[in-house]
């Protein structure tokens, strides 16, 4: 297996290099080890929470805020808790309450990538966001299928469809996967993205997922442990760091917690982006903020949180979402993981309502932690080379 060329250690030097020649590292082979790309500054020497395995060799959450998901509790949730989601069956009602917009890059593709030294985010539903920053474009936990399930005739079904197809996506450089649950790692979407972009698309995945990615034809895969770093060939100035989260993993009856889970910190010369993935609240977010903050934008889940006795360990509620926003030192945040699948028991329109209440409680503005319609974009610090 060919060794990747390391990313350079001096961020200012990388900006100069990109301006001069836009040359970078080469190679696209998969990597099982988390090659240290470079150290950003002295803060990387601070103590942080490392990933941990139990005696059975499976990953585990190292925080006291975690409580394992048990089968009896799953049954208790399903059979004793009332489902208050009340998703309308009427498409007309849903179109009013949760409109699905055609993304700008479908209607006006010539505007794609024109962000200057700013950044742009487009919500594609659930935890899928398309981010343009620092001359790279990446997508988080993409799912374009109708069901979050191993089969497309059973399992949670979207009540709001994707705003575009894989074929309508612009050229993307990377995909970030937070963990292997079906609503975050979708087989059909992976196959479709791989068929369209092939080895030019770099996949950043958690430790333990490389074999699965290779099994389904993905060649350009980087597998990382918590705090592991890497970059996209040709774009050395932007570093992708796999950071912690409090969650779990499982796709089959026998593979629970064999794959790590986490969040992603994307660090560029002009912008910094944080993607929380799926998570319960824990102290890791303070560590991330101290080490890599402030972030220009964070994508933080605000849905799938009721009932709290069951969901709190694996999914934050809007109050905790705002605390993550504060912990990671986000200048702006977008609320994700809501309005697409009914995965928990809260009313389907409650997440943004509860988010506003939490923001008011912390004396923060709604524009500091916003929500978008499906397919809608938001520009941050775009100069005259971008669009309004």
**In which residue are the tokens 């028991």 written?**
345
Sequence ranges of the binding site for Zn(2+):
179, 181, 183-184, 247, 278, 337
Distance CA 201, CA 176 (A): 11
Structure tokens at 237: 């100035």
Helices and strands (H, E) in the chain, number of each type: 10, 16
Sequence ranges of the binding site for deoxycholate:
250, 254, 342
Distance CA 69, CA 134 (A): 39
Distance CA 337, CA 321 (A): 11
Could you count the other beta carbons within 10 Å of the beta carbon of residue 294?
12
Q: Do residues 266 and 299 make contact, with C-beta atoms less than 8 angstroms apart?
A: no
Distance CA 69, CA 84 (A): 21
Distance CA 146, CA 160 (A): 9
Handedness of CA 323, 328, 330, 333 (dihedral sign): negative
Distance CA 126, CA 7 (A): 32
Q: Is 43 helix (H, G, I), strand (E, B) or coil?
A: helix
Q: Is 120 helix (H, G, I), strand (E, B) or coil?
A: strand
Show the beta-strand stretches assigned E in the chain.
Answer: 52-53, 59-60, 119-123, 129-133, 136-140, 174-176, 202-206, 221-224, 229-232, 235-243, 263-267, 272-275, 297-301, 333-336, 369-370, 377-380
**In which residue are the tokens 């309005």 written?**
339
Sequence ranges of the binding site:
179, 181-184, 247, 250, 254, 278, 315, 337, 342
Cα atoms in the 13 Å half-sphere on the side-chain side of 349: 10
Angle at the Cα of 361 (from 355 to 365), degrees rounded to 5? 65
Q: What is the DSSP string of 14-26?
A: HHHHHHHT-----
Distance CA 359, CA 299 (A): 16
Structure tokens at 204: 């950043």
């Amino acid at each position: 297996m060919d060794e990747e060329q390391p990313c350079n250690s001096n961020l200012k030097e990388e900006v100069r290099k990109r301006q001069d020649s836009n040359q970078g590292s080469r190679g696209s082979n998969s990597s099982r080890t988390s090659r240290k790309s470079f150290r950003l500054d002295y803060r990387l020497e601070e103590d942080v929470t490392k990933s941990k395995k139990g005696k059975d060799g499976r990953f585990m959450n190292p925080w006291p805020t975690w409580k394992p998901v048990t089968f009896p509790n799953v049954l208790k949730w399903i059979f004793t808790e009332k489902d208050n989601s009340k998703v309308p069956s009427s498409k007309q009602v849903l179109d009013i309450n949760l409109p699905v917009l055609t993304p700008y890059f479908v209607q006006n593709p010539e505007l794609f990538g024109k962000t200057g030294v700013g950044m742009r985010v487009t919500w594609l539903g659930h935890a899928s966001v398309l981010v343009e920053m620092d001359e790279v474009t990446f997508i988080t936990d993409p799912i374009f299928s109708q069901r979050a399930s191993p089969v497309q005739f059973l399992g949670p079904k979207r009540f709001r469809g994707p705003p575009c197809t894989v074929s309508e996506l612009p050229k993307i450089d990377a995909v970030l996967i937070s963990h292997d649950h079906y609503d975050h790692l979708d087989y059909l979407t992976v196959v479709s993205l791989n068929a369209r972009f092939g080895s030019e698309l770099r996949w950043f995945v958690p430790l333990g997922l490389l074999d699965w990615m290779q099994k389904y034809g993905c060649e350009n895969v980087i597998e990382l442990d918590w705090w592991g770093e890497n970059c996209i060939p040709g774009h050395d100035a932007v570093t992708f760091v796999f950071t912690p989260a409090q969650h779990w993993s499982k796709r089959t009856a026998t593979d629970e917690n064999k794959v790590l889970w986490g969040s992603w910190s994307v660090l560029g010369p002009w912008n910094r982006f944080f993607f929380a993935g799926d998570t319960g609240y824990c102290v890791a977010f303070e560590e991330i903020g101290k080490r890599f903050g402030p972030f220009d934008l964070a994508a933080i889940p605000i849905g799938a949180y009721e009932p709290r006795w069951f969901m709190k360990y694996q999914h934050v509620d809007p109050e905790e979402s705002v605390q993550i926003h504060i912990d990671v030192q986000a200048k702006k945040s977008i609320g994700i993981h809501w309005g697409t699948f009914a995965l928990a028991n809260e009313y389907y329109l409650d997440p943004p309502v509860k988010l506003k209440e939490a923001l008011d409680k912390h004396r923060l503005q709604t524009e500091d932690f916003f929500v978008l319609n499906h397919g809608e974009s938001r520009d941050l610090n775009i100069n005259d080379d971008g669009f309004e």
